[in-house]
Structure 1
Amino acid sequence: MFLGTHSPKLDDKGRVILPAKFRNELAEGIVVTRGQENCLYVFSAAEFNDLHEKIRQAPVTSKSARDFLRVFLSGASSETPDSQNRITLPANLRQYAGLDRDLTVIGAGNRVEIWDTEAWNTYLAANEEAFSNTTEEVIPGLF
């Protein structure tokens, strides 16, 4: 499980060093793709394969399912960490997420999310109070 918040830097070649505590789970391969709210999702290869199997169950006759599948999978890139534990974030994904030098990498359970630091800070500021004040069940059976 991926947890925590980290602040790595993007180098001039579009590479990032993922946090050490995430490396074991990602050692067998990584898939990076577009995420919601203009961040990037990073999945282990195994988790991405499981997710893909679920996506494949969606009916081809559903326009919203087709749209989601196209955007989600067309941006996906299989990456392998180099000897210094860096992965390259493809230019189209960096552009999608508005990534510059300063990144925020968060653990989000089954995935890692990569955010532009300013975008993350804006998102967190806009959502932190609502999170603190949640008085109803958001996820069935959680609390």
Structure 2
Amino acid sequence: MFLGEYRHNLDYKGRISVPKKFRRDLAKGAILTKGLDGCLFLYSKESWDRLTTRLRELSVTQADTRSFERYLFGGAIEAQFDQLGRINIPEYLLAYAALKKEAILVGILERVEIWDLQRWSRLAKKLEQRGEEIAEKLSERGV
């Protein structure tokens, strides 16, 4: 399980250091792809396999299924760690997430989200303002 926030800088080659706590769960393989809301998703191989199993159960005849599969899988890569625990983020994913220098890695249960620090700060502020409202809506769903 991934938890917590960790600020890191990207280097000039588009590499970012992944926290040691996260690397333990990513040691058997990691997948990096476009996320939602303008971030990147980093999955362990195990979590990715569970997600793909669920997506395979959806009907390919549905346009939304095909579109989401293209979105998620089309830009995905197997992330490789170097000796310093960094992954290289390809240019197209850097552009998608507007990542330049300062970034934050956020542990969200089965995935890590990689955000541009300024974009994350704006979103986090909105989430804090809506925390009670969101909690109430989730409680209506039994959470």
TM-score (norm 1): 0.94
Q: How far apart are residue 129 of structure 1 and its match?
A: 1.1
Cα offsets for 1:48-91 (capped at 9, x unmatched): 11111111111011111111111110010101211111111111
Instruction: Provide the rounded CA distance (Å) in 1 between the counterparts of 2:109 and 2:79.
Output: 20
* Higher fraction of strand: 2
Alignment of 1:36-115 (within 5 A): 36-115=36-115
Instruction: Provide the rounded CA distance (Å) in 2 between the counterparts of 1:134 and 1:38.
Output: 20
> How many pairs are equivalent?
142
- Other structure's SS at 1:99 match: coil
Corresponding residue of 2:136 = 136
Cα offsets for 1:11-31 (capped at 9, x unmatched): 111101101111110011110
Moved over 4 A (4+): none
- Other structure's SS at 2:110 match: coil
One-letter identity of the residue aligned with 2:95: Q
Query: CA RMSD of the aligned region, Å?
Result: 1.2
Instruction: Provide the rounded CA distance (Å) in 2 between the counterparts of 1:21 and 1:132.
Output: 29
Corresponding residue of 1:2 = 2
- Other structure's SS at 2:109 match: coil
Instruction: Provide the rounded CA distance (Å) in 1 between the counterparts of 2:137 and 2:62.
Output: 29
Instruction: Provide the rounded CA distance (Å) in 2 between the counterparts of 1:55 and 1:94.
Output: 25
Instruction: Provide the rounded CA distance (Å) in 2 between the counterparts of 1:134 and 1:18.
Output: 29
One-letter identity of the residue aligned with 1:53: T
Query: What stretches of structure 2 of length at least 5 have no aligned partner?
Result: none
Corresponding residue of 2:27 = 27
Q: Against the structure 1 CA distance between its residues 135 and 82, is the aligned structure 2 distance closer, same or farther, given a 3 Å change threshold?
A: closer
Instruction: Provide the rounded CA distance (Å) in 2 between the counterparts of 1:138 and 1:95.
Output: 33
- Other structure's SS at 1:114 match: strand
